[in-house]
């Protein structure tokens, strides 16, 4: 299943810190044994808002992903919903 997790940078947050945290998280996801992985991220480069598309086996694995990111990186992602129309977020591909 594909899920969407929205993100908004806090006003005092520096973009370089955010980018570093995201890269660390992606490396951890690639090397770890998790039931979820990041499929794409949109709107991060220079933007204050964006979202992740996350692939997970089920909704529990998705919330584990969100919880892990909050606990390890002290970063707040708002879980939105399972994606019903994945192509809508990938430019129709």
Whole-number Å distance between alpha carbons of 49 and 60: 25
Cβ-based neighbour number of residue 19 at 10 Å: 12
Give the whole-angstrom CA distance, residue 66 versus residue 37. 11
Cα 26 from chain centroid? 9
pLDDT higher at 70 or 44: 70
Q: What are the chain's domains? A: 2-89 (3.30.70.870)
Does the global pTM surpass 0.75?
Answer: no
pLDDT digits (tens, 9 = 90+) for 55-74: 888 888 888 777 777 666 55
pLDDT tens figures, 71-89: 665 555 555 555 554 445 4
Residue 34 in tokens: 């998790």
Confidence of residue 51 (pLDDT cuts 50, 70, 90): confident
* Predicted pLDDT at 64: 79
**Coil vs helix vs strand at 22:** helix
């Amino acid at each position: 299943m594909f899920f969407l997790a929205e993100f908004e940078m806090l006003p005092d947050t520096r973009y370089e810190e955010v980018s570093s945290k995201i890269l660390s998280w992606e490396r951890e996801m690639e090397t770890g044994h998790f039931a979820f992985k990041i499929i794409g991220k949109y709107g991060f480069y220079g933007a204050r808002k964006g979202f992740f598309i996350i692939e997970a086996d089920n909704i529990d694995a998705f919330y584990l992903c969100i919880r892990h990111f909050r606990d390890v990186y002290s970063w707040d992602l708002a879980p939105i919903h399972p994606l019903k129309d994945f192509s809508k977020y990938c430019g129709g591909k």
